[in-house]
Amino acid sequence: MSKKLSIWQMTPPQILVLGFAVIIFVGAGLLTLPFASATGKSIPFIDALFTATSATCVTGLVVVDTGSVYTMFGQIVIVSLIQLGGLGFMTMATLLAIMFRKKITLKERLVLQEAFNQGSIEGIVRLIRKVVIYSLSIEAIAAVIFTIRWSFDLGFSKALYFGIWHAISMFNNAGFDLFGTVDAPFVSFTGYANDFVVNFVAMALIVLGGIGFVVMADLMEFRKTRKLSLHSKVVLSMTGTLIVAGALIIFIFEYTNNRTLGSLDLGGKILASFFQSVAPRTAGPNTVDIGALRQASQFFIVILMFIGASPGSTGGGIKTTTFTILIAAIVTMIRGKEDIVIFRYRLAKDRILKAITLTMLALFLVITVTMLLSTTESAQLLKILFEVTSAFATVGLTMGLTPDLTTFGKILISLTMFAGRLGPITLAYALQPKQEKELYRYPEGKITIG
């Protein structure tokens, strides 16, 4: 009774942290089973834990190749963790409760509010229904298209398996793939750099999974309402801007690089540029060798990864809305205005403070982990920074460092993925002691800035 009471008294952030941790350790236990490994021997627990963390946190960083090291059982465990981690364990629990006509309690609604980063619990159960319907529908459509396309290369049964598996992985922005072999591991989608169908479907899945379920609901209801919320306008405009700008910059930097875009025709160059611009939206697959990109491109991708996807989505990073608020704050300060205005709406100060807090916590996490790994791993600073940012933003892109990580490095990157999936602020709320109401305020002071 006391244990039940203690769990019931946990805050929503603490419940989310505990829930994800339990799923990760259960997944790691399943992946260590001998029949999860292609060799029939148990995979080392640290590698299984890393893989389970990466799958549950929908990242995509791997220390062993998914396609060649794991059996079908292991692969199904991984894709199940991806689906559970992408939609959220509370979403799945709520779905089961709805199916069995169980009442959703206030506590459960508060946890869902925290999980989807919503301002209130109003309409949260209705949102969950939409999330599940939209997600499964999009994944099903993509799986059919993938199956038809890959039937020409793999045969129908394998194409069907690959179609369903990769539709789930791409929509949840996980970045895991099964195309690696014993002789050619970690190849991702490089064999389809010129394939329009595979590229377009994968990019569509990544974008739809990354814009957030609230925006998707807004878009689905646009025919009726004929309007979009401020949140949706900000997400869609910034997502489009980052994708186009990213593709243009990668196209320019890599145009003459024979190890990446240089060997492709003009259409292939454009397609690969857009894919490498969309992938850092926290997805992880790649159609060109990321390690072969010029350093300018690699550093630019670090910036794209740090920004990440949008709130209430399957992606990570500081989020497009946070980045928009920061840019708007800079513009407002330069213009000498008092209020930050976006699309003719004035932003409340608590939104601005939260954006600054989230960004600073994320920067502190990335810098700290990068400094620690630079002392334990034999790699260049940019390579380590790329890996850490990819882990924090739950992207999964890599310059090839992950398989060579030390045990300490694997643990640290796993913790970074965990923090990135839950969000620095949620994690901070979960770890802090119970808040007490302030009984007084200090006098206002002034500090010179700039």
**Residue at token pair 């060649």:** 68
Tell me the one-letter amino acid at 390.
Answer: S
The mean pLDDT value for 16-41 works out to: 91
Q: Tell me: the pLDDT tens digits for 39-96? A: 999 999 999 999 999 999 989 899 999 999 999 999 999 999 999 888 765 566 566 5
3-state SS class at 37: strand
- What percentage of residues in the chain have a pLDDT greater than 90? 56
**Is the per-residue pLDDT at 211 higher than 80?**
yes
Give the per-residue pLDDT at 4. Answer: 45
d(CA 326, CA 362): 14
pLDDT, one tens digit per residue, over 336-363 is 888 899 998 899 888 898 899 889 999 9
Are the C-beta atoms of residues 323 and 237 closer than 8 Å to each other? Answer: no
Judge whether residue 206 has pLDDT over 90.
Answer: yes
Q: Is the pLDDT of residue 168 over 90?
A: yes
Q: What is the pLDDT of residues 389-429, one digit of tens each?
A: 999 999 989 998 999 999 999 999 999 999 888 876 666 65
The pLDDT of residue 131: 78
Q: Parallel, antiparallel, or unpaired: how do β-strands 341-342 and 345-346 relate?
A: antiparallel
Q: What is the dihedral of CA 196, 199, 201, 203, to 10 degrees?
A: -140
CA end-to-end distance (rounded Å), the chain: 57
E strand map for 199-343 = 341-342
Alpha helices in 155-195 (DSSP H): 156-171
Residue whose C-alpha is closest to residue 321's, from 349, 290, 296, 358: 358
Encoded tokens for 73:
């059982």
pTM: 0.87
Q: Chain-wide mean pLDDT for the chain?
A: 86
Count of H helices and E strands in the chain?
Answer: 20, 2
